[in-house]
Structure 1
Amino acid sequence: MPKLFPLSSPLLQKSIFIALVLLILLTPYLDSATALLAGLVVGLLLGNPFSTHTDKASNILLKAAVVGLGFGIDLHQVAETGLRGIFYTFASLAATMLVGLLLGKLFYTPKRLTHLVSAGTAICGGSAIAAMAPAIKANSQEISVALGIVFVLNAVALFIFPSVGHMLHLTQEQFGIWAAIAIHDTSSVVGAASRYGDEALQIATTLKLTRALWIVPLVLVSGFLFKSEEKKLRIPFFIVLFVLASVLSTFLPAVAAVSPAILVVAKKGLLLSLFLIGANISLSALRSISAGPFWQGLLLWLIVSVTSLLLIYGIG
């Protein structure tokens, strides 16, 4: 696997790799972008000493993490968003996927990468990409590029959204709805909304949880669209477990009591899987990627952000 600064000692390579894994698992301050960046440092600069094993491990870990994230979905809280919230969610999701797929054709982006970027923008960023990737059989390169695009735009939104909201004098409700629709990851939605106000935070969080549930039907539809020569659609088992986890966490008090602990483990698993995905990327693979996917993701995000803001601002 080509890298910029190969280390001559396999023992040193393995030591650095293991140290980074332990840092991800034991440090509570690392986020998804940092985990992916650490993996890219290994894959591109230092060399992945476990490359024959990490590709399969990252795929298994991704699925397990997605199942664990299901324990963080409270169906009662999702139901509180009401018909208006459901309408906003479905309309924006469908429109985002449609525009994203059209932009993919415009920028000649590979189909699976287009689908990942569109799903990440439409639903909940990295979590949606993680859930979608195994269903459409996306490779490590496609997953890493999609996640990288989403993480960059997330960081930008976290800082500029509250400023725009104050400048336009958006109400707490308006900002909460806008943040849930236009910001990718739940963590960034929470971060931006918390800076705007408590009511905005509550609205944004519940709407974002509602959007997370759309992972299930979208993954099923995507699996059907990307199926190869199979005559029957196979429902990904990890998606079934994701739904089961949310149901158990919502309706069984005993499960709900341990759900926060499971969610912590799942988030750590997601961070580790992102690290492994980054470690699987080679310099030669990155060189084969054009700038098209980034411009596609940026343009899609701007269209979603501006359009949803205009609609919410006008309706409000």
Structure 2
Amino acid sequence: MLFKKYLAIAPGIILTFVLYTLSQGLNNIIGIELLGYDKSPISTAMIAILMGIVLGNIFQMREGFLLGIDFTQKYILKLGIICLGIQLKPFEFLKFGSIAIPLIIVCIISVLIVVKLLIKKLKISTRMAYLISIGSTVCGTTAIMATAPVIKANKSEVAYAIANITVFGIISMLIYPYFANIYFNGDPLFVGLFLGTAIHETSQVAAAGLIYDQQFNSPETLNIATITKLIRNTFLVIMIPLFAYLYNRNTTKNKNYSILNIFPYFVLGFIAMIVFRNTGDQIFLSESLGQIWKDTVSNIKDSAKIFLSMAMAAIGLSTNLKDIKVMGYKPFIVGFIAMITVGLVSIITMQLFTNLY
């Protein structure tokens, strides 16, 4: 019986893996061969969802694929999010944490307030607003994908929010390095903090930091931007349960509602992976074991990217463009204002901190 169940979901899972493989190959061709980067600044997951959307809207998915596609969205997605925890090294964050953490908190709160005001004016769905908010303030596509299941967002809302974050993330990735250099007079600390807080995706932050490094010869800026972004990513652990509670509290009629009923327990796996990483870093210090540990960490990081890209492909395959069209342009207005807000708040907050200290 169990074998039949696995057999039923296999075609859909294999299809998403094939799309991931194609996306990775296309990503390497565009980012490395054509653009000349050592590491592509383009997200494989972004290409995967675009390919999925194209195929899903050209061809009608057969029943034999739908079960596996649905399984990938629900479970392989969560497995990928858990594996993401392996890349976080909180002990490295202490150097910049005293500045970065307050800055990130202010940015998150500011965007949440602005989006809350906008949804009343523009009348977009609460689920869409939450997805755009967490995508803009925490870690882009990953945050959207992690939040969607706990607020019961539908596939079209997820795809729209991801498209929203992708468009404005790419715009900021290309513009902000040059703007930050002018505005902050080339100060690597402030430029790095700005890039790490104002750009959505981790890959986009890394690309912006790399652009800055190559244009203005500042590897320190790339390091600060990356560390700031990884600190920002850890807020996923707080924001997902918070959004889950706020959304379900407002939609349930049960006065005895508890966060335990909707708590996304895969977040605990994410935290456990962070602990696992840092414990391993402390234990495996010898050269022989150290290399094995580094390989293990690298393999888990690669697995996270594969699982998340497969989930993105699955979302794309099950997305109907007609449903997105029905949503209209208003969520994109929210996304644009969220991008501007997080950038302005980042600048203003850093100026305040500079004046205080």
TM-score by length of 2: 0.78
Aligned to 1:226: 247
SS at match of 1:47: coil
Q: Does 1:302 align with 2:315?
A: no
Partner of 1:290: 328
- Residue 277 of structure 1 pairs with residue 315 of structure 2: yes
Task: Give runs of aligned pairs for residues 22-61 of structure 1, distance below 5 A.
Answer: 22-24=21-23, 29=28, 31-49=44-62, 50-61=65-76
Moved more, 189-198 or 76-85: 76-85
Query: What are the within-5 Å matches in structure 2 for residues 208-287 of structure 1?
Result: 208-227=229-248, 228=252, 229=254, 231-234=257-260, 235-253=263-281, 256-257=293-294, 258-287=296-325
Residue 200 of structure 2 is matched in structure 1 by 184
**Residues 19, 202 of structure 1: CA spacing in aligned structure 2 closer, same or farther, 3 A cutoff?**
closer
Deviates more, 1:263-272 or 1:15-24: 15-24
Query: CA-to-partner distance for each residue in 1:150-185, whole Å, 9 max, x for gaps?
Result: 111111112111121233324111111111111000
Q: Which range is displaced more, 100-109 or 251-260?
A: 251-260
Q: Which residue of 2 aligns with 1:147?
A: 162
Deviation at 1:275, TM superposition (A): 0.8
Where does residue 5 of structure 1 map in the other structure? none
Q: Matched residues in 1 for 2:307 and 2:68: separation? A: 16
**Against the structure 1 CA distance between its residues 311 and 170, is the aligned structure 2 distance closer, same or farther, given a 3 Å change threshold?**
farther
Distance 1:39 1:284 in 2: 15
* Cα shift at 1:53: 4.0
Instruction: Give me the whole-angstrom Cα distance separating, in 2, the residues matched to 1:147 and 1:118.
Output: 11
Question: Which structure has the larger Rg over C-alpha atoms?
Answer: 2
Q: Contact between 1:120 and 1:184, CA under 8 Å: does it hold in 2? A: yes
CA contact (8 A) 1:249 1:259 kept: yes
CA contact (8 A) 1:37 1:278 kept: yes
Aligned-partner SS, 1:137: coil
TM-score under structure 1 length normalisation: 0.88
CA distance in 2, matches of 1:114, 1:63: 22
Query: Can you list the C-alpha shifts for 1:67-91, whole angstroms capped at 9, x where unaligned?
Result: 0101111111223323222211111
Structure 1 vs Structure 2 CA RMSD: 2.5
Q: If each structure's helix is expressed as a fraction of its own residues, which one has the higher value?
A: 2
Q: Answer yes or no: is the 8 Å Cα contact 2:20–2:306 preserved in 1.
A: no
Aligned residue for 2:8? none
Aligned-pair identity (%): 25
Partners of 2:259 and 2:193 lie apart in 1 by 34
Q: Is residue 192–residue 222 contact of structure 2 (8 Å, CA) maintained in 1?
A: yes
Q: Give 1:25 shift.
A: 6.6
Q: Tell me the alpha carbon deviations over residues 222-267 of structure 1, each in whole angstroms, 9 at most, x when there is no partner.
A: 1111224472222211100000000110112459531221010111
Please state whether the residue corresponding to 2:134 is helix, strand or coil.
helix
The equivalences for 1:199-210 within 5 A come to 199-210=220-231
- Structure 2 CA distance for aligned equivalents of residues 55 and 106 of structure 1: 34
Which runs of 5 or more structure 1 residues have no equivalent in the other structure? 1-14
8 Å contact kept, 2:209–2:222 = yes
Match of 1:116 among 114, 124, 131: 131
* Alignment match, 1:67: 82
What is the aligned length?
304
CA contact (8 A) 1:129 1:147 kept: yes
- For each residue in 1:27-63, what CA deviation from the matched residue of structure 2 results, as whole angstroms up to 9, or x when unmatched? 7736222111101101222333323542342121211
